[in-house]
């Protein structure tokens, strides 16, 4: 694992852990808040409901109190009181019910079928003797009873809280109640709202975490790009130095071959020729040996001159770029049996450094070698155009072209073209290659005054 990946993990893992911890804390807080909220809501709802039920029962008692306070106990007075209680409905599920102390139902606005029945032993869905508990509370002065009863508006059993009180002289238990599953629906709705709020908060936290990770990744990527650019610049500088060093070594080797080895061979050749001239004409033993030695010296001298020319063409230093290019084209094409033409002045272009001239010569040398090796051309033309903006060299052949895209994508082909581009790029120039069925054209351009090399960070 490299250092950059380690730094990335060190930067992103804490964020992921913080996000996971935050999510867990939010869920825990949501559960705690929901529980606490339900407790508060149920307590407040219970207090309000109990107060409301007391108020309703007090209202019912105040309604029938004028009849009860008359002291009459006959059926007419009781029927009138029951009618007044029937008229005190408050909503679809709000009504008053009436039982005597024996458990017989005297009035039930929502379930009239219960009237007249003794329900003392009736048990609700929880198994509790509801009516007995209510009568006991009424006899004791009144109180609340939790039970399960049919809800008229929903036609099903629901939990209910009732409040009852007694009229001892008439042996009546009067009461009312409210269904408590409304609080369950209310708490469920609040839980949904709380969960939605939590999800929104989690989205914001996730978005912030993702944004932080993106920023970190962008920073690491930017650092990587910066490092890659710096490394690329260093490699280019190293390549320039390597090429420059190679050219210096070639120039030194060319001079040594020309001024040292070549001169020694010339001297040996002259001495051998002088020795041959001084031999008697009838010498048939030494003369053939010296003549063979003279031939070998001439061959060695030609070989040294050829190597010296290839390593560093003396024409480039002695005659200039144009003459060196003309001679390069004529010698190479003549040896390959290809017609060569040169267009341009032999005068040395002004404003070109030695490095630029060497680069242009090497680029054309490489391009010409590729043409003679692969193009199967019959004619090659080299055009040198010099202007105020810079220098342009155009090498045109009539051979078979090639697919530029295929060459560019092939890992083992196009190395020469890449080297030519890099050479020109190092001196501020550019290379343009066009190839088709009618041949290939290579254009090398450099500015008149080359821009300084890029600094390496």
Ordered DSSP codes for 163-210: EEEEETTTTEEEEEEEETHHHHHHHHHHHHHHHHHHHHHHHHHHHHHH
- pLDDT value, residue 310: 63
- pLDDT value, residue 312: 64
Mean pLDDT of 376-382: 92
Position with higher pLDDT, 24 vs 263: 24
Decide if pLDDT at 2 tops 90.
no
Helix (H) or strand (E) holding 323: helix 321-336
pLDDT digits (tens, 9 = 90+) for 193-236: 777 877 787 788 778 877 877 777 777 677 767 776 777 777 76
- pLDDT value, residue 244: 65
Q: What percent of the chain has pLDDT above 70?
A: 84
What is the rounded CA–CA span in Å between residue 387 and residue 364?
A: 19
Decide if pLDDT at 454 tops 60.
no
pLDDT digits (tens, 9 = 90+) for 7-23: 667 667 777 777 788 87
pLDDT digits (tens, 9 = 90+) for 70-85: 989 999 999 999 999 9
Confidence of residue 118 (pLDDT cuts 50, 70, 90): very high
pLDDT digits (tens, 9 = 90+) for 389-432: 788 999 999 988 888 777 777 766 677 788 888 888 888 899 99
Kindly list the domain boundaries of the chain, sorted by start residue.
3-179, 318-457
Lowest mean pLDDT among 5-14, 114-123, 314-323: 5-14
Question: What SS3 class is residue 126?
Answer: coil
- pLDDT value, residue 395: 94
Mean pLDDT of 302-317: 68
- pLDDT value, residue 236: 67
Candidates 382, 360, 359, 383; CA nearest to 372 is: 382
Position with higher pLDDT, 9 vs 139: 139
Please give the full DSSP string across 5-43, using - where no structure is assigned.
Answer: HHHHHHHHHHHHHHHHHHHHHHHHHHHHHHHHHHHHHHH
Confidence of residue 140 (pLDDT cuts 50, 70, 90): very high
Q: What percent of the chain has pLDDT above 90?
A: 30
- pLDDT value, residue 396: 93
Confidence of residue 33 (pLDDT cuts 50, 70, 90): confident
Mean pLDDT of 234-260: 65
Decide if pLDDT at 124 tops 80.
yes
Choose which CATH entry (3.90.950.20, 3.60.70.12, 1.10.3470.10, 3.30.565.10) describes domain 318-457: 3.30.565.10
Confidence of residue 247 (pLDDT cuts 50, 70, 90): low
Decide if pLDDT at 148 tops 90.
yes
Out of 234-243, 250-259, 352-361, the most confident range is 352-361
* Six-digit token string for 287: 């003369």
Decide if pLDDT at 182 tops 80.
no
Backbone region of residue 71 per phi and psi (left: phi > 0; alpha: psi in -120 to 50; beta: other values): left
Candidates 349, 438, 333, 331; CA nearest to 388 is: 349
pLDDT digits (tens, 9 = 90+) for 263-275: 777 777 777 777 7
Confidence of residue 457 (pLDDT cuts 50, 70, 90): very low
Mean pLDDT of 155-176: 93
Quote the mean pLDDT of the chain.
Answer: 82
Q: Which CATH architecture has domain 3-179?
A: 2-Layer Sandwich (3.30)
- pLDDT value, residue 451: 43
Please, what is the angle between helix 354-370 and helix 415-426, to 10°? 160
């Amino acid at each position: 694992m490299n250092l950059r990946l380690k730094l990335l993990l060190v930067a992103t893992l804490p964020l992921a852990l913080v996000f996971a911890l935050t999510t867990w804390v939010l869920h825990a807080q949501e559960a705690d808040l929901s529980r606490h909220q339900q407790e508060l809501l149920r307590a407040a709802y219970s207090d309000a409901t109990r107060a409301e039920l007391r108020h309703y029962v007090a209202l019912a008692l105040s309604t029938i109190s004028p009849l009860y306070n008359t002291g009459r106990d006959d059926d007419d007075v009781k029927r009138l009181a029951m009618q007044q209680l029937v008229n005190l409905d408050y909503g679809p599920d709000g009504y008053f019910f009436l039982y005597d102390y024996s458990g017989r139902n005297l009035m039930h606005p929502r379930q009239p079928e219960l009237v007249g029945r003794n329900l003392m032993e009736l048990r609700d869905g929880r198994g509790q003797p509801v009516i007995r508990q209510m009568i006991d509370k009424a006899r004791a002065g009144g109180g609340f009873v939790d039970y399960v009863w049919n809800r008229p508006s929903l036609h099903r059993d629901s939990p209910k809280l009732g409040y009852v009180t007694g009229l001892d002289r008439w042996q009546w238990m009067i009461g009312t109640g409210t269904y408590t599953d409304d609080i369950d629906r209310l708490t469920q709705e609040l839980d949904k709202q709380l969960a939605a709020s939590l999800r929104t908060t989690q989205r914001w936290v996730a978005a912030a975490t993702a944004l932080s990770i993106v920023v970190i990744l962008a920073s690491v990527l930017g650092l990587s790009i910066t490092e890659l650019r710096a490394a690329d610049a260093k490699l280019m500088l190293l390549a320039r130095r390597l090429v420059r060093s190679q050219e210096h070594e070639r120039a030194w080797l060319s001079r040594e071959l020309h001024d040292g080895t070549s001169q020694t061979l010339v001297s040996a050749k002259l001495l051998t020729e002088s020795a041959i001239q001084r031999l008697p004409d009838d010498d048939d033993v030494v003369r053939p040996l010296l003549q063979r030695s003279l031939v070998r010296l001439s061959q060695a001298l030609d070989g040294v001159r050829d190597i010296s020319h290839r390593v560093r063409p003396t024409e480039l230093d002695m005659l200039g770029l144009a003459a060196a290019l003309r001679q390069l084209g004529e010698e190479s094409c003549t040896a390959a049996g290809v017609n060569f033409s040169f267009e341009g002045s032999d005068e040395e272009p002004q404003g070109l450094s030695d490095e630029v001239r060497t680069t242009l010569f090497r680029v054309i040398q490489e391009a010409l070698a590729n043409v003679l090796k692969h193009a199967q051309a019959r004619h090659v033309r080299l055009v040198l155009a010099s202007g105020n903006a810079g220098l342009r060299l155009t090498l045109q052949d009539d051979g078979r072209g090639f697919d530029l895209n295929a060459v560019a994508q092939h890992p083992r082909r196009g190395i020469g073209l890449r080297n030519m581009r890099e050479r020109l790029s190092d001196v501020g120039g550019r290379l343009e290659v066009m190839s088709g069925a009618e041949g290939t054209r290579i254009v090398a351009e450099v500015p008149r005054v080359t821009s300084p090399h890029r600094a390496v960070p």
